[in-house]
Amino acid sequence: MKSKVFFLCMLYLAAIPGLRAQTFTHGKSDTYTYPKDEDVLEKLDKWQDQKFGMLIHYGLYSELGIIESWSLCNEDWINRDS
């Protein structure tokens, strides 16, 4: 009986953070909120016309040292010697 009560108490304590995390959500914004900080605006002006873009694709396979899970380029120079 004591082990059941202990187990239920531990289960309840483990569930509290998860339940509390579900209570707050940000509301959906209908309009874009423009930055007001002068430093941010200056950096945005610098980057506006540089046409710089970056794609970061991260997955479980990157932890194992695998180049990718599909072949993007089948050239000889891209293949690793393992």
For the stretch 41-56, pLDDT in tens is 988 888 887 877 777 7
In this structure, is residue 1 part of a structural domain?
no
Q: Where are the alpha helices (DSSP H) in 24-75?
A: 38-48, 60-63
Is residue 35 within 8 A of residue 41, CB to CB? The reply is yes
> pLDDT at residue 67 above 70?
no
In this structure, is residue 6 part of a structural domain?
no
Number of structural domains the chain divides into: 1
pLDDT band at 23 (very low <50, low <70, confident <90, very high): low
pTM for the full model?
0.31
Question: Residue 73 and residue 68: Cα distance in Å, rounded?
Answer: 10
For the stretch 34-44, pLDDT in tens is 889 999 898 88
In this structure, is residue 4 part of a structural domain?
no
- Residues of the domain holding 50: 38-74
